[in-house]
Amino acid sequence: MTASFRLAVIGGDGIGPEVTRAALRVLDAAERRFGFSTAREELRWSSARYVDLAGRVTPEEIDGLRAFDAVLFGAIGDPRAPRGVVERDVILGMRRRLDLFVNLRPIVAYDDRLVPLKGKRAEDIDLVVVRENTEDVYGQTGWVTGAGKDEVAEVPMRFTRPGIERIVRYAFELARTRPDRHLTLVDKANAIPIQELWRRIFDEIGEEYGDIKRDAMYVDAACMWLVLKPEQFDTIVTTNLFGDILTDLGAALTGSLGLAPGANINPERRFPSMFEPIHGSAPDIAGKGIANPVGAVWAGAMMLDQLGEREAHDRVIAAIERVLGEGRVRTPDLGGNTTTAEMAAALRAALMS
């Protein structure tokens, strides 16, 4: 029987709808080649909805996503809306209400010419970051007290043992499938004493994985070594806040933030997972048709893997590697003048050839 999946599509704001359309065009080609299908429902969750209709995305609407097999997401953010309000409603709403506690972000370079580091080649940059996705300061509202010189802003940095244990165990299991079988914990336990809990749990669980090389690194040192010696990293596990920062740096090492995908996963499959490029809405280039869709296409490939369509996933990744490696098709962020639609067409052609 032909597999069929119900897909929620949220283009969002700015370049989000543009790159999502491109990803769906590549998905169309994958469906034809590999014989599965998707039934898609577009959800118009965006800052524009908030600005024009004063309508916020509610927890009940987020709960409605449980009827789908997966969510393909573009980007959220519009300068007309209050900073962070819609982002918290939609992105953090999905991550928390669907318990998408794994944020998986591969950092892989596919062309030496795109790597900005002196003396480094694409083969030196092949790692994955496992970011805890539901705790830390993210999503905490915090509070501001006082006024004038007495004004104080506070927000709790909160971690739980179950939250750390499940992400660390996921990371060890993932490291077992990676080339170097090497897992690095990134924290700041020397300056933030509560993060010693991460160290203790990492070592406790690590005793169960004697086949995995493990080490730990402070986040400032990790940033330095990602630039100086990225080849030493294979799998990284880290906090919500640090994971967000490290993966933007990692994306730059591969050539552009526009190349980077992310998967927000519930490994227990109790709820649908959400897949997105990690870039923002980029309102300065929205509507110009020049956004790089590779991150969104790659996110779509990660979605196929999660849905069990591994062969289709592999072919999409091979198409990305081929197009970037050939170097003829380059969107402006990669130094070329290819449009979003042209990049999508090139990826489709590579997939079908």
185 forms beta bridges with: 216, 237
- CB within 8 Å of 125: residues ≥ 6 apart: 107, 108, 109, 115, 230, 231, 250, 253, 254
- Structure tokens, 23: 């990803």
Interatomic CA distance for residues 171 and 74, integer angstroms:
26
- Nearest CA among 276, 233, 238, 273 for reference residue 258: 276
* Residue among 110, 138, 170, 209 flagged as catalytic: 138
Q: Which residue among the candidates 188, 209, 234, 333 is catalytic per the annotation?
A: 188
Q: Return phi, psi of residue 78, to 5°.
A: -145, 130
Give me the count of residues in the chain: 353
Q: Are 274 and 73 in contact (CB under 8 A)?
A: yes
Query: Is 188 an annotated catalytic residue?
Result: yes
118 assigned to active site: no
Burial 62-101 (b: 16+ CB within 10 A, else e): beebeebbbbbbbbbbbeebeeeebbbbbbbbbbbbbbbb
Catalytic residue among 69, 89, 234, 244: 244
Please, are residues 263 and 239 in contact by the beta-carbon 8 Å criterion? no
Query: Is 110 among the catalytic positions?
Result: no
Report residue 335 as tokens: 């130094």
Query: Two tokens at 291?
Result: 């956004």
Active site (annotated) includes residue 138: yes
Are 276 and 224 contacting, i.e. CB atoms less than 8 angstroms apart? no
Q: Tell me the pairing of strands 102-108 and 261-265.
A: antiparallel
Active site residue 220: yes
**Could you give the residue numbers annotated as active site?**
138, 188, 220, 244, 248
